[in-house]
Amino acid sequence: MKKIIFSMIFMLMPLAAAFAQDVTGRWKLEDGSAIVEVYMNGDVYNGKIVWLQNPTEADGTPAVDSNNPDKALRSRKLIGLNMLSGLKKNGGEYSGGKIYDPGNGKTYNCSMKVDGDVLKVRGSLDKKGLVGRTMDWFRVK
């Protein structure tokens, strides 16, 4: 009987690991300034801002995308803004997407990898990810 139970647990371990590595869900940025919800849309993964540490401007109005290079988009609210787009699962990594930084109004190439409850998000100038930086985002439970 113990062998059967042990065998069942051993067989289910890969399923548990695969579930734990799921990128969907809510992730808090390493500086604590925002929470991004990563979700699947068709066969790609996107992410939108769902919470901000400072959700309003000094005058009390909702925080907006004031650094966007497109003047027509500067009035859009940050909460609800899609900042991750077009990521595809490729083995244990999510790549081929873009990440928008509302802090400076720039868009970068993006790849991500889940490491337990940490999402390693890499924004880069080049598609191979050689010139950029990696941020740790933490799963919100």
User: Taking a C-beta distance cutoff of 8 angstroms, is the pair 83, 36 a contact?
Assistant: yes
- The CATH code of the domain that includes 110 is 2.40.128.520
The confidence score (pLDDT) of residue 3 equals 57
The dihedral region occupied by 19, where left means phi > 0, alpha psi between -120 and 50, and beta the remainder, is alpha
Classify residue 75: in a domain, yes or no.
yes
Give the rounded distance of the alpha carbon of 8 from its chain centre.
33
Classify residue 3: in a domain, yes or no.
no
Q: What is the pLDDT along the chain (141 residues), one digit of tens a residue?
A: 555 444 444 444 444 444 447 999 999 999 999 999 999 999 999 999 999 999 999 999 999 999 999 999 999 999 999 999 999 999 999 999 999 999 999 999 999 999 999 999 999 998 877 889 999 999 998
Classify residue 17: in a domain, yes or no.
no
The confidence score (pLDDT) of residue 7 equals 45
Closest CA to 67 of 78, 58, 55: 78
The confidence score (pLDDT) of residue 20 equals 43
Classify residue 14: in a domain, yes or no.
no
27 to each of 11, 52, 97, 119, how far by Cα in Å? 29, 12, 17, 8
Classify residue 11: in a domain, yes or no.
no
The confidence score (pLDDT) of residue 129 equals 73
Domain count, the chain: 1
Residues of the domain holding 27: 23-139
The confidence score (pLDDT) of residue 8 equals 42
